[in-house]
Structure 1
Amino acid sequence: MLHPRYLRYAKQALFFAFIWLLFGIVYSLLEQGILGRSSFYPSTQNRYDFKSSLLYATTGSFLIGLIHGWLEVSWLSQKFYNKALWVKVVLKSGFYLIFMFLFLTFFTLAINSYRFDASPMSKEVMYGFESFFTTFSFWSVFIYIAFGLVTAMLFAELASYLGPNVFLNFLFGKYHTPKQETRIFMFMDMRSSTTIAEKIGHTKYFELLKDCYADMGNAILETSGEIYQYVGDEIVVTWPEKVGLYRNNWAECFFRITRLFETRNGYYSNKYGSVPFFKAGFHLGLVTTGEIGTLKKEIIYTGDVLNTTARIQAECNTYGKSNLVSEQLIQKMNSKDSLQFTKIAKLHLRGKKELVQLYTLDQSSKTNSI
């Protein structure tokens, strides 16, 4: 199975590729509408036929989109993480336009070489190449590509603000009609957050939260988690049941985040004078998922599982534990799972008769003691 990080990169790169493919198809149709039955491009006298033009435009657009998408999600988006949106668009547009100019140069040489059945450096191919680049034909194509580039980047930035899964769910209307599904939730909260905020000041504390959530990103990504909400110093992560149970993604996410802050101890001590530690509550249950709102739309989850998970996380302080897990979640795990739990207590939920048995997860153990 492909690693979740690279699976996410591949999905996002394909999203770029399909946007570019759509632009390539539209370009070919516009070109056909303008040229009609003409066998030559009027400005360059290069040969033209619709089928070849459609093939070149769609192939080239898809390749450009794939390269653009991979560079964006695996490299450039990380380089410009802390920049304002307009700065990202301007700087990245400059980089990509240089790249597109070079790509268009080599792509044009390759097409002319194929059309004339000659070497890329032959006189006939070079003449067609020079004719194309010294007329408005080239700049019209370049402007069209630039428009596609900016459009793809704006879609990517929009997806990053909403979250890729949320954006696609909005786009395809997955939750336009409410749906019921079983999900695992992790409510993770910073210990002694009020004390830390008073010690370092609220501006510095905000920077601390930004660093913490940025550092958590890879752990959540690599365990196929979805960030549902940031609520001050609390982050809510969720998994569909099968995804969360696969290889204990829900537990592995917590382990990775915990180890991360242990290894980043020096960084946080030097910068903030405090090392953040997080406590987490885990639960599984049925939720109703759907779009809500008119002035501002969101995809939200409703159900007892959210309130229960929040209560479970709040009990970490009571029992002095870094994590608490509900029995309902543990019972869903496979018997072969090599995790050890210690029974803690039963949680009484306000307004309900049933009690929730709580366990704590021991990350140093390799065998399941349930």
Structure 2
Amino acid sequence: MTLLSAKTRYYFQRILPFGIIWLVLAWMFLSTEYAALGDFAHGPKTAIKVTPLILLFACSAVFVIGCIVGVLEVFFVNRLFEKRSLPQKIIGKFCIYAVLLSILILVSYLIAASIEMDTSIFDKKVWKRYTEFFFSITYVSTLLQVGFSLLLSLLYAEISDNLGSQVLLNFFTGKYHKPTRESRIFMFVDMKDSTTIAEAVGSTTYFKLLQSYYYDFSNAIINNYGEVYQYVGDEIVITWKVKKGLNQNYCVRCFFDMEKALQNKSKFYLRKFGVVPQFKAGMHCGEVTTGEIGALKKDIFFTGDVLNTTARILGLCSTYQKNLLLSKELVKQLSLGSEYVAEDLGSPQLKGKVNSINVMSVEQVSQ
């Protein structure tokens, strides 16, 4: 039994790096200041004297502030700038956070000063100390440090949004710096009649439809521990490590949750685009080699026969008029129970492959 739900874990992994970035930078600034001064006793009188208790409070406060920025970025602020250019995003967000952080600096300094002076935060001496701090070089230095931390965390947020937080983590940890063999489940998802829809609504409207289409899949993918490998036009490739995908049938459940998400938004799609998109999917599992690849642009790349086979299984959806097809090899490893019905469709010859593969359709039993 997992302590955190998939969604909670996903957001935790997105927010935590903000706190870590702020904390690491704070340590760097503190170390630099210590190296320049020799010791903190020779610092400006407006600076809070560093004691073990003050250091503990400062580290905790900086980490919490970073996490607060992360929460605001993930859940609120980023949505305000979704359709803006990168410079507009950075400048706009920076201004919003600057106001908030000015308030947090005020509160943090007052608390630290009260700890150092061993008196109440409302004591006049504490507020006098803050007034001196506000008009000092120490305040300017603090603003520069906070500004740099904010800028770096915002750049991290943009890179994470574009690459994906899991891919970015793999790059930082060097997990796939050397090719690694691993067993994975892949699901190739393709929009039905996409060419007809694109011609009917026009390229600009179709692009907006794709944005909504992919966005509405997000919760289903997150809740079922899926990882988005690629967006290719109107096709999306989702992957799981085998153990995770088989657990509670997450890989199969993801498909039907995605289907339900579009059904729940059918009125929205009809009103805005005049059509409700539908999709089909093929699934298979097997061993792949995973690693970083690329000369002008690095990417995490999967290679192996399993991807080609999955693509061919997807192509059979139209032949059999089914929305979801799986290899029998994958179905045998699942525990579908009474929630799903599987139908054996035989062993068709897959295009471009010498050996045939046994294919099955899976449908969800109506609740």
1:3 aligns with 2:5: yes
Show the counterpart of 2:37: 35
Query: CA separation in 2, counterparts of 1:71 and 1:144?
Result: 20
Query: CA separation in 1, counterparts of 2:248 and 2:143?
Result: 47
Show the counterpart of 1:117: 118
Structure 2 residue matching 1:76: 3-state secondary structure: helix
Is 2:183–2:242's contact at 8 Å kept on the other side of the alignment? yes
Show the counterpart of 1:233: 234
Query: CA separation in 2, counterparts of 1:308 and 1:337?
Result: 28
Deviation at 1:24, TM superposition (A): 1.1
Show the counterpart of 1:156: 157
Deviation at 1:43, TM superposition (A): 4.7
Count of residue correspondences:
365
Show the counterpart of 2:277: 276
Which stretch of the first structure deviates more once superposed, 334-343 or 176-185?
334-343
- AA aligned to 2:200 is K
Query: CA separation in 2, counterparts of 1:309 and 1:351?
Result: 12
Show the counterpart of 2:56: 55
Which stretch of the first structure deviates more once superposed, 350-359 or 260-269?
350-359
- AA aligned to 1:17 is G
Structure 2 residue matching 1:332: 3-state secondary structure: coil
Structure 2 residue matching 1:347: 3-state secondary structure: coil
1:334 aligns with 2:335: yes
Query: CA separation in 1, counterparts of 2:267 and 2:7?
Result: 27
Which stretch of the first structure deviates more once superposed, 56-65 or 220-229?
56-65
1:20 aligns with 2:22: yes
Q: TM-score, normalised by structure 1?
A: 0.93
How big is each residue's C-alpha offset from its partner over 1:142-176, in whole Å with a ceiling of 9 and x where there is no partner?
12101101101101210110111111111111111
- AA aligned to 2:144 is I
Show the counterpart of 1:102: 103
Query: CA separation in 1, counterparts of 2:357 and 2:40?
Result: 76
Is 1:23–1:61's contact at 8 Å kept on the other side of the alignment? no
Which stretch of the first structure deviates more once superposed, 169-178 or 59-68?
59-68
Q: Segments of 4+ in structure 1 off by > 4 A?
A: 50-53, 350-353
Is 1:9–1:74's contact at 8 Å kept on the other side of the alignment? no
Structure 2 residue matching 1:22: 3-state secondary structure: helix
Residues 273-312 of structure 1: matches in 2 within 5 Å?
A: 273-312=274-313
- AA aligned to 2:117 is F
Cα RMSD for the two superposed structures? 1.8
Deviation at 1:335, TM superposition (A): 6.7
Is 1:184–1:284's contact at 8 Å kept on the other side of the alignment? yes
Residues 199-218 of structure 1: matches in 2 within 5 Å?
A: 199-218=200-219
Q: TM-score, normalised by structure 2?
A: 0.94
Question: Any gaps of 5 or more consecutive residues in structure 1?
Answer: none
Show the counterpart of 1:167: 168
Query: CA separation in 2, counterparts of 1:345 and 1:120?
Result: 76
Show the counterpart of 1:87: 88
Query: CA separation in 2, counterparts of 1:144 and 1:17?
Result: 15
Show the counterpart of 1:343: 344
How big is each residue's C-alpha offset from its partner over 1:275-332, in whole Å with a ceiling of 9 and x where there is no partner?
1100111111111101111111111111111011111111111111111111011111
How big is each residue's C-alpha offset from its partner over 1:175-198, in whole Å with a ceiling of 9 and x where there is no partner?
110001111111111111111111
Query: CA separation in 2, counterparts of 1:15 and 1:214?
Result: 23
Query: CA separation in 2, counterparts of 1:117 and 1:308?
Result: 69
Deviation at 1:352, TM superposition (A): 4.4
Query: CA separation in 2, counterparts of 1:252 and 1:7?
Result: 18
Deviation at 1:269, TM superposition (A): 1.2
Structure 1 residue matching 2:238: 3-state secondary structure: strand
- AA aligned to 1:65 is G
Structure 1 residue matching 2:347: 3-state secondary structure: strand
Among all aligned residue pairs of Structure 1 and Structure 2, give the percentage whose two residues are the same amino acid: 39
How big is each residue's C-alpha offset from its partner over 1:237-282, in whole Å with a ceiling of 9 and x where there is no partner?
1111111112111111111111111121111112111111001111
Structure 2 residue matching 1:88: 3-state secondary structure: helix
Structure 2 residue matching 1:311: 3-state secondary structure: helix
How big is each residue's C-alpha offset from its partner over 1:211-236, in whole Å with a ceiling of 9 and x where there is no partner?
11111111111111111111111111
Question: Any gaps of 5 or more consecutive residues in structure 2?
Answer: none
Deviation at 1:35, TM superposition (A): 2.8
Is 1:28–1:50's contact at 8 Å kept on the other side of the alignment? no
- AA aligned to 2:8 is Y
Show the counterpart of 1:66: 67
- AA aligned to 2:38 is G
Structure 1 residue matching 2:357: 3-state secondary structure: strand
Is 1:28–1:53's contact at 8 Å kept on the other side of the alignment? no
- AA aligned to 2:269 is Y
Which stretch of the first structure deviates more once superposed, 47-56 or 109-118?
47-56
How big is each residue's C-alpha offset from its partner over 1:308-362, in whole Å with a ceiling of 9 and x where there is no partner?
1111111111111111111011111137574221122322234645321111111
Query: CA separation in 2, counterparts of 1:76 and 1:235?
Result: 27
Query: CA separation in 2, counterparts of 1:336 and 1:93?
Result: 51
